Amino acid sequence: MPNLSVAPPSPIQLRRAVTSSFLGSVIEYYDFLLYATASAVVFNKVFFSSLDSVTATVASFGTFATGYLARPLGGVIFGHYGDRLGRKRMLVLTMTLMGVASFLIGLLPTYAQIGSLAPIALVVLRVLQGVAVGGEWGGAVLMSAEHATRRRGLWASFTNAGAPFGMVLSTAVLSGTAAVMDERAFLSWGWRVPFLISIVLLAVGLFVRLRVEETPVFEAARKRASRLPLLDVFRDHPKALLLGVGVGLSAFVAQGTLTTYLIAYGVRAGFARQAVLNALTLSSALAVLGIVGWSALSDRVGRRPVVLVGAVLMAAYGFALFPMVDSGSTAVLALALVLGQSLIHPLMYGPLAALYTELFATGSRYTGASLGYQIAGLGAGLAPLLFAQLDASTGGGTTTISVIIAACCLLTVVCVLALRETSRQDLTSVTSAAPASGRVADTAKPSSA
């Protein structure tokens, strides 16, 4: 199976690529997850004020979910052109689109001012956010992984680590804004400040990103670029795509539960909004260390064992999570989030950056990795909406929610066992780069990346 003749990557460019991917991910997820936090504590009162409390929360989570529904579309669009024209160009576009959309959310009139046009405009901008983040992740991961000469899991994980750091930043800014003003002022205009700050972050991110060169792997494959990368994914890597979605689904369901649904659940359980946000900020900060640490371990022992342990632990933890929150103790609430988001979830989530990269060949890698990751990512958007509806219909019972989490984790276990180990995969393969069950493909060789 032919391999590309790849120029030796520059250590300076690797550092720039990793820094750019991390900062880009922080900025993208600051914007994307700021909406998640706001949907739990603000938007139900600002854009759905004509509805009762529970229905408004469901509606708010519904607009939140539209961003996730748009993410596979973004993965396909930017993946197509990223595989044809280059990773760097698409990353500049995705960052710009996200920053502008988030800034405009901060300028939106409320339901009280323009009626139903307000939530409609909110949904449109949320869709644009989803398209942007759907194209961002795949390109950012590839910029790091394809520049790497060793420890691919570690370097690629900085893109995933940007997500909880973006959550730290967005939650800290939103909660900090709420802390310095009364409820009326915060709901009137204070919630807009974190969204308006996006334009400043955009300028910083573009400055860093424009200094990164295209990846050596893509440059070597540029003349062989496919006209239809999506068709290549469906024709050459259907099994890899399906197994990849199954591997990542439970991580995203857990993410949506811990970072979005649990905020609204904790407030309804009697905790002060600030207490829940503080616990979320702490757990998100520690999650950065968990993601990088477990991903580095996956370079040594493989992606499969790390993800498997995480899925099994999360399946069990889903039944302990809600009783811990229901304890009424702020310390136990913080412990619940730290255990879930900082320790267990990173086992499942951290290695995904390298794993998705290793599932596809160079010519369709941006498209394939983005599509697999973003389809799995629907779990993070739909889980809070589904759980809020179950909560409304059952009067607060959480057993069904825990069962759903465990079922998704079981699916991940099955898919991981069906997928061969990818950590030794050679990224310079011209053609097939991935799937098969249980054995290492002939082209795989000891990882120097």
CA 29 to the chain's CA centroid: 7
pLDDT of residue 443: 36
Question: CA-to-CA distance for 156 and 151, rounded, in angstroms?
Answer: 9
| Average pLDDT over the chain, rounded to an integer | 84
- Pick the closest to residue 337 from 321, 350, 319 (CA basis): 321
pLDDT at residue 48, as a whole number: 66
What local confidence, expressed as pLDDT, does residue 247 receive?
Answer: 96
Give the pLDDT score at 58: 67
CB 434 within 8 A of CB 367: no
pLDDT recorded at residue 434: 47
In the predicted structure, residue 148 carries a pLDDT above the cut 50:
yes
Could you tell me which residue, 372 or 41, shows the higher pLDDT? 372
Burial tier of 331 (Cβ tally within 10 Å: 0-12, 13-18, 19+): exposed
Q: What is the pLDDT of residue 442?
A: 35
- Over residues 260-283, the mean pLDDT reads 87
Predicted local confidence at residue 292, as pLDDT = 96
User: What does the pLDDT read at residue 79?
Assistant: 92
Nearest to 386 by CA among 371, 412, 411, 408: 408
Decide: helix, strand or coil at residue 3.
strand
Angle at alpha carbon of residue 376, lines to 372 and 443, rounded to 5° = 35
On the question of pLDDT at 96 being above 70, the answer is yes
The whole-number pLDDT of residue 433 equals 47
For the segment 308-329, the average pLDDT, to the nearest whole number, is 95
**8-state DSSP, 270:** T
Query: Mean pLDDT across the stretch 173-194?
Result: 80
Full set of structural domains in the chain with CATH = 11-215+224-418 (1.20.1250.20)
- Band the pLDDT of 316: cuts 50, 70, 90: very high
395-427 b/e with 16+ CB inside 10 Å = b?
eeebeebbebbbebbebbbebbebbbbbbbbbb
